[in-house]
Amino acid sequence: MSTKTFYHSKFPIIAGALFILFSFSSCKKNHSNPPPVSGNITAIVSNTPEFSILKAAVVKAGLTATLSGKGPFTVFAPNNDAFMASGITLASINSLSADDLKAILLYHTIGASVKAMDVPAGPNAAVATVGGDSVFLTKNLNGVFVNGVPVVKADIIATNGIIHVISRVLMPPPGNIVEVAQSDSTFSYLVAAVLRASQGNTNVAQVLSSNGPFTVFAPTNNAFRNAGFATINDINNADPNTLATILTYHVISGRIFSSDLSDGAQPTTLNGGQVTIGLINGATVKGSSNTTLSNIINTNIVATNGVVHVIDQVLLP
């Protein structure tokens, strides 16, 4: 299985992710808490049952020596629940190449020791990873977040750094927003719409490939079908300027992760209109001319020039 397969199945459906209690289980009859595991990062990961999938990934990626080294490192460590919530099992780990796993794990690793109290307020302060990409850190009243994913247990101190436990697996960006859409067949109608729109007065593909950053609410293929585009041929026959108006209504300037969304917010889109965010009964976004809410069904898909959230309706200005 490729990293692209994981990339589009790993993210939570709701914005504002739930905090998961993390503890080391004990079989002692007196139910006392076991002493915390100590040692370097590799030792802690290797000797903590809730990191068994992460341990397998570290071993296959050939990073046991690196994460036992001098460091210092900060590792945003998915526990077993996080791997499972991201659709990744031990079998999935075994199907990936060592190089793919190494890229993923180094995306979780910063070459410095950063305690939770030292995380910049942000929002979404860019921090370079050991793998060469950037992750985006936020600290607010709701906790600490990396790429919109919550830290569920902070400051596990190792001899060569710090471990923060997170509730989802982070994936390195495969490219810019256009390349993210092109890499997933779920967005084939969206890609066709971007290309057709770019034949008019606004080169939407060029905009979404530029530095940004942008946040895109990306409709699925079914969303386009439900909006009246039964086939890609219907998209190719549509007026490009009309499509450009619709598509730029799905784009907001700035990198807005799920942890940044607030109920009732009305961010301005690239075409000058506004959409309305809802968080009461699940995460939603509504266009001015939509009669119903669009559900945000996947969040925090990171691109080199922004972030993508998947929605189940086309937004209408």
Encoded tokens for 193: 């719409």
Task: Identify the H or E element spanning 196.
Answer: helix 188-197
Q: In whole angstroms, what is the distance from residue 79 CA to residue 57 CA? A: 12
Instruction: Give the chain's mean pLDDT.
Output: 89
Amino acid at 304: T
pLDDT band at 36 (very low <50, low <70, confident <90, very high): low
pLDDT reported for residue 20: 32
3-class DSSP assignment, residue 168: coil
pLDDT band at 197 (very low <50, low <70, confident <90, very high): very high
- Among residues 104, 110, 103, 142, the alpha carbon closest in space to that of 126 is found at 110
pLDDT reported for residue 1: 40
HSE-up (13 A, CA, CB side) for residue 288? 11
For residue 224, pLDDT over 70 is answered with: yes
pLDDT band at 22 (very low <50, low <70, confident <90, very high): very low
Q: In whole angstroms, what is the distance from residue 58 CA to residue 98 CA? A: 9
- DSSP states of 25-41 as a string? ----TT-PPPPPP-SSH
pLDDT reported for residue 149: 96
Encoded tokens for 300: 């925090």
* Predicted confidence (pLDDT) per residue in 133-180, tens digit: 999 999 988 999 999 999 999 999 999 999 999 999 999 999 999 999
pLDDT reported for residue 101: 95
Domains and CATH numbers, the chain: 3-166 (2.30.180.10), 177-311 (2.30.180.10)
Q: Find how far residue 124's CA is from the centre of its chain.
A: 12
* Predicted confidence (pLDDT) per residue in 277-291, tens digit: 999 989 999 999 999
pLDDT reported for residue 14: 32
pTM: 0.84
**Vertex 213 angle, CA 222 and 169, to 5°:** 65
Q: In whole angstroms, what is the distance from residue 15 CA to residue 253 CA? A: 19
The DSSP letter of residue 73 is E
